Amino acid sequence: MLGGYMGEILFVDLSKGKITEESVPDGVYRDFIGGIGLGARVLYERMKPKADPLGPDNMLGFVTGPFTGTPVPASGRYTVVTKSPLTGAWSDTNSGGSFGPELKAAGYDAVFFSGISPKPVYLWLSSGKAELKDASHLWGKDTVDTEDTLLKELNEPKARIACIGPSGESCSLIAGIVTEKGHLAGRGGAGAVMGSKRLKAVAVRGNKKVPVANAEKLRAPREATLKSFQTSDFQKGLYALGPGGGTSHLVGMGEVGIKNWLLFGIESMPTCTNLDTANVEKYKLRRAACHGCPIACGAILELKEGPFAVPGEVNRPQYETLAAFGLMCLNDNVESIIKANSICNRYGVDTISAGSIIAFAIECYDHGIISDKDTGGIKLTWGNAKAIIAMLEKMVRREGFGAVLADGAKKASGKIGKGSEEFAMHVHGREIPMHDTRNWPARSAGYVVDAEASNHCFSDGAMMLELGVPLGFDPALQAPKVELHGDYENKGPLYKTGFEFFELLSSAGLCAFATIFNPGVPVAEFIAAVTGWDFTWAEGLNAGHRILTLRQAFNVREGLTPEEFKLPQRMVLSATTGPNAGVKVDVNALTTHCFAALGWDIKTGKPYRRTLINLGLDELTKDL
């Protein structure tokens, strides 16, 4: 028996209202693992090249990994794959909670949608049965009301819902998909794809158990991993205060910029300590955790009073949200960020993009490029918390100037013009995450080498190796000694290993927080125990390389080249303030060495024929 998989995936043609079930060959699972990998395999094989991201030919997949729903710790993840309407490139966006494990319990490893429904619908999956149901009464509702309505309507309080809010319905290109009222598959505009298909929600409930091939073999690595979580300073910090607990510490070490990446360091914003999540503990109702996760980095808040009061409960803002609506906007009012997080969760919007876009708009206002006449009287000045919330509310509703901002900073700057392009901080249309490339050069390579651009977790493994931290005990996972801001010619193979490692753990269904600064999480050993394969780290990293390369082939087939994936000039120049003042990263050199190590052509982006053959992708990608 093959463990870790349910063996079935579902295909839903929304145009025809047709649902089909297909079995997956064991070899496809082994080659592509699950999650990102399985999603890339299905989309590359079944999607028409150059499909309109908001048209019927684009596909949208909800995909789990072999760890999802098993006793492997921190494995409650699922991935949404599609062609991004924000960038026109490959997109995979990851989320936690309990939706992924429930999808497996309903009997499926993945569900893929194509076509466009004539009317709003939602998919109901319950223990192997699939049904499209009318969602006209849900259209226009926010994600909280949608979930509450569906749970009552289905009479299944333990069902898990993935849905879009009004921003997804209006096809805002920064719209995401929300599960359990606060977990977002947020990046790349997957919510807009869902909205374009008139798919309001996917509801799942199951009673099937995910098989594990060798439970005894799983026990030792599981116990070792749980013990490592208890001793890791990073994971202990996550448990205590969540991902935003050290926001000011990251400012102090130069990890993140301030004022739309113009300034750096504590001296540029001494009040950034207000944004540490220790300051939101007084609003905390209870701790929250994803399925099967002992780290429990989440929390549920309640903010009942004041100008930024929120309706009901809200998830605690994570670091990226605190930095985007706080540091980027020179805003130290943490209550306003709790409010912004609530708005984004209810309307279904990516907080990284939303906060970055507001910062872009503030800089435009600061330079006189836009005025009160454009903003509808909202005075978009730096640090003006009330104005930030007012403009965010317009953006999520596509009202007034908010409609200009709703599709990302790149498109907004194209409409505004007047030199505003300089203030739009993005790579190929997707806003920059809250991690500076000059602090860790691996970030710069990750932002432009990855097929989906500006991925805030993709370079974590490469960053650890660059810092001299091994990814595990296997010889293939060791960290060669390199200079942080040098040795570019030696970093291509190092980054390649880090990128492969991330693709493997993510495709398997493991949370990145389980492995950051926690070397030795036995991903390959977990795969061997769960599936029953004689699986090694060498095979695992090779699978990671295969997944990376197929995603890159997807972009090449779409006509995209490496020249289009460039950091904004503001992130290429030397920093002028903060701990990295004077530091400059030669991202072109790093990119060149990465492409060489991965076996891809630096000019065209096309994987070399020998690379495709070695990875067993030559037949699948013969259309390149």
Residue 147's pLDDT is 98
Residue 208's pLDDT is 95
Block residue for tokens 């030795």 = 520
Cβ neighbours for 179, distance < 8 A, ≥ 6 positions apart: 95, 97, 98, 99, 160, 161, 162, 163, 185
Q: In whole angstroms, how far apart are CA 132 and each of 129, 198, 203, 298, 434?
A: 10, 12, 10, 32, 39
pLDDT digits (tens, 9 = 90+) for 490-511: 999 999 999 999 999 999 999 9
Q: How many CB atoms lie within 10 A of CB 305?
A: 7
Q: Which two three-digit tokens encode residue 287?
A: 């701790």
Taking CA 219 as the corner, what is the angle to CA 216 and CA 223, rounded to the nearest 5 degrees?
170
Q: Which two three-digit tokens encode residue 536?
A: 């090694």
**Separation between Cα atoms, residue 178 and residue 80, nearest integer Å:** 11
**Separation between Cα atoms, residue 321 and residue 53, nearest integer Å:** 26
Cβ neighbours for 68, distance < 8 A, ≥ 6 positions apart: 34, 75, 76, 77, 78, 100, 101, 103, 104, 210, 509
**Separation between Cα atoms, residue 376 and residue 11, nearest integer Å:** 45
Block residue for tokens 């905390």 = 284
Residue 263's pLDDT is 95
Residue 457's pLDDT is 87
SS (H, E, C) 211-275: CCCCHHHHHHHHHHHHHHHHHCHHHHHHHHHCCCCCHHHHHHCCCCCECCCCECCHHHCHHHHHH
Helices 385-397 and 334-347 pack at an angle, to 10 degrees, of 0
Residue 467's pLDDT is 92
Backbone angles phi, psi at 545, to 5 degrees: -65, -40
Residue 1's pLDDT is 66
Residues in the chain, pLDDT under 70: 1
Residue 105's pLDDT is 96
Residue 241's pLDDT is 87
**H-type alpha helices, 558-599:** 569-572, 587-598
Residue 519's pLDDT is 79
Per-state percent for the chain, helix, strand, coil, to nearest 5: 45, 15, 45
3-state secondary structure of 500: helix
Residue 244's pLDDT is 87
**H-type alpha helices, 286-427:** 319-322, 334-347, 351-366, 372-375, 385-397, 402-405, 409-416
| Residue pair 80/70 in contact by the 8 Å Cβ criterion | no
Q: Which two three-digit tokens encode residue 110?
A: 């993945």
Q: How remote is the C-alpha of 379 from its chain's centroid?
A: 32
**Separation between Cα atoms, residue 474 and residue 599, nearest integer Å:** 23
pLDDT digits (tens, 9 = 90+) for 244-301: 888 999 999 999 999 999 999 999 999 999 999 889 999 999 999 999 899 999 999 9
Q: Which residues pair with 199 in a beta bridge?
A: 121
**Separation between Cα atoms, residue 69 and residue 554, nearest integer Å:** 29
| Residue pair 75/68 in contact by the 8 Å Cβ criterion | yes
| Residue pair 43/554 in contact by the 8 Å Cβ criterion | yes
Q: How many CB atoms lie within 10 A of CB 403?
A: 16
